[in-house]
Amino acid sequence: MNKEKNFQGYLHDKGLKSTRQRDDIASYFLQQDKHFTVEELYNEIKKSDPQIGYATVYRTLKLLVDAELAVECQFSDGLTRFEPVHKGKHHDHLICLKCGKIIEFENDKIEQLQLEVAREQNFELTNHKCVLYGYCSRCKE
C-alpha cells in the first residue's frame, strides 16, 4: 500500500514510532473512501482491537492530518469528520439539510477560480473547503 508507506515514512521522519494501534488505525482508515467521525472510526477499530482507546484514535487522526493523508471537515452538526486524502483529486461536499445525506463532487473550474481569487489577494493557498447546503432530490418535495 502506497499510502501506508507514506505514513511509515512520515513517522520515521518525525522520529515517531510505529505501533500496532497506530498502524491498524491508519491502515483501516486509509483504505476507506468515506468520512468518519472519531466515534465511527473508534467503533470500527474496536471490532478488531477491543482494547483500543478513544484518545489513540484522536491522536492518530491528528497525525494523519499532519502527514497530509487525511483532512478535517466541519459541517454544521458540531462533529469533526475526517476523510482520507486521495492524492491529486480534491472533492467538495453537498449536504442535505433534511436527511443529512452527503454527496461529494469535483469541479475543476471552481478550483481554478479559487486559485485565481487567492492570487488576487496575494495569498499562498494550502487548501480549501467548499460546502453546499440544500435539499436533495428526495427531500425537496
Partner DNA sequence: AACGAAATTGATATTCATTATCAATATGAG
Partner DNA sequence: CTCATATTGATAATGAATATCAATTTCGTT
By CB under 8 A, name the binding residues for its own copies. Answer: 72, 74, 76, 94, 96-97, 103, 105, 107, 109-110, 113-114, 117-118, 120-137, 140
Report d(CA 116, CA 64) in Å as an integer. Answer: 29
- Read off the C-alpha cell for 70: 487525511
Count CB neighbours of 15 within 10 A.
6
Residue (9 or 100) nearer to its own copies, CB: 100
From the list DNA, its own copies, none, which binds 52 (C-beta under 5 to 8 Å, kind-based)?
DNA
Q: Which of these, 103, 77, 80, 76, lies nearest to 92 by C-alpha position?
A: 103
From the list its own copies, DNA, none, which binds 21 (C-beta under 5 to 8 Å, kind-based)?
DNA
> Least distance in Å: CB of 74 to DNA?
8
> Least distance in Å: CB of 65 to DNA?
10
Residue of the chain from 1, 9, 19, 117 that contacts DNA (CB under 7 A): 19
Chain residues 96-135 in contact with DNA, contact rule CB under 7 A: none
Report d(CA 114, CA 108) in Å as an integer. Answer: 10
Report d(CA 30, CA 26) in Å as an integer. Answer: 6
The contact set with DNA (CB under 7 A) reads: 11-12, 15-22, 37-38, 49, 51-56, 58-60, 62, 78-80
